[in-house]
Structure 1
Amino acid sequence: MQWILQLLAVSSLLIYGFSMPLIKRANPCFVTGSVALPAEVSDGLPALEAAPVTCNTAVEVAPGVPDLSSGGIDYSSIDFQKSSLSPLGFALQMFTTPEDPAGVDLTTLQNQLNNYLALEAGVRSQPDSSALLGRLKGPKFFLQFQIARVNAANGLQLDAADTVAHQLTKVTANAVGATSAELEQVTTLSTHV
């Protein structure tokens, strides 16, 4: 008799559970548009929220995207769009490391990257954003490149996608408007790990 009552209890839970509506998770504050994000971007959203990346809706840094902040660094203070340099030229000047990057504190670079990753998600969620998206990838990949250099200099074992060589390829492939001197500078940096 006891097992019949347990079976009925489980059955009613299953029926009730399947009849409940699915609750859609709210987007982070920086994903303000209606365009679906590709998996490689949406998969990173929980980490950005946990960082946390916060929003200042009083300031817009891209169409429909509020200013972002991670670790006390506002995106508006590291915005490549304010520079007359190419996006890569801006990144080379803004996101520097010493010649030997082993002693660099990754916290600042990671917070800067968090802002760029959040901006990318926000921009991708907006319609007609391909022009800006193409330009912001240069600084984003350069930050990933710098983090790879620091990790390599500290002897960390890196996955293939996180190596300096792989990140160098990403930087150069997304260097919209970069000069040959800027590209050469990045290549030189790749040998200093």
Structure 2
Amino acid sequence: MLVNSFVILSLVATALSAPLSLLRRANPCFVTGSVALPAEVANSLQGLKAVTCNAKRQVAPGVPDVTSGGIAFSSIDFQKSSLSPLGFALATFKTPTDPAKADLKTLQNQLNAYLAVEAGVRSQPNSSALLARLKGPKFFIQFQIARVQTAKGVALGVADTVEHQLGKVTKNAVGAKASEIAQVTALSKQL
């Protein structure tokens, strides 16, 4: 009887876990690959519900172009530039001298586009080279958002601070010049 109870409990547990795995498999339109996403990325997908996809255009192998708040990734794609990913980010994702005057909504939509493409790229096999270059601009946008929020007096958690984001940018600055790192460091002091 104990063995039968164990078998029944195992079957029930399996049946109950099936809907959860099916829910997790109901991926957003930009997660097109078969590689499981890291928990941190998978958990962030909820915040990207408003991101839409253009399946007629790919921005990476197997990954459609995405749009957030009217901003298409293809319009802010670092891959189209001859600059390093960080150099591109410095030239593209600027803030006013007073970061408090920056358009936080635009920065967030730009970040959403990068986060969606990152999730899409991570879902594809053999994507580590592109992923390494994609992180530079993504972290730079997060850095800019931290600067804007700090300038506006928003209390930030440790992981969201300018200092923490500066570390992420410099750690992921693939192919960046020393002058580009110096520019980011200088921006970290303009709050």
Does the TM-score normalized on the shorter chain lie above 0.5?
Answer: yes
Of 162, 165, 184, the match for 1:164: 162
Partner of residue 95, structure 1: 93
| Cα separation, 2, equivalents of 1:55 and 1:96 | 25
CA offset digits 1:5-34 (Å, max 9, x no partner):
xxxxxxxxxxx9985783312100000000
- Counterpart of 2:47, as a letter, is A
Asked whether 1:22 is paired with 2:22, we answer no
Q: Which runs of 5+ in 1 are unaligned?
A: 1-15
| Cα separation, 1, equivalents of 2:184 and 2:48 | 27
Task: State the SS of the aligned residue for 2:18.
Answer: coil
* Residue pairs, 1:4-153, within 5 angstroms: 22-23=18-19, 24-25=22-23, 26-49=26-49, 52-153=50-151
Of 18-27 and 32-41, more deviation after overlay is shown by 18-27
Looking at CA atoms only, which structure, 1 or 2, has the larger radius of gyration?
1
- Counterpart of 2:160, as a letter, is D
**Aligned-pair distance for 1:104?**
1.3
State the TM-score, normalized to the length of structure 1: 0.88
State the TM-score, normalized to the length of structure 2: 0.89
- Counterpart of 2:42, as a letter, is S
| Cα separation, 2, equivalents of 1:20 and 1:94 | 47
Q: Which runs of 5+ in 2 are unaligned?
A: 1-11
| Cα separation, 1, equivalents of 2:154 and 2:108 | 16
- Over aligned residues, Cα RMSD in angstroms? 1.6
Query: What fraction of aligned residue pairs are identical, expressed as a percent?
Result: 68
CA offset digits 1:51-109 (Å, max 9, x no partner):
x0000000000000000000000000000000000000000000000111011121000
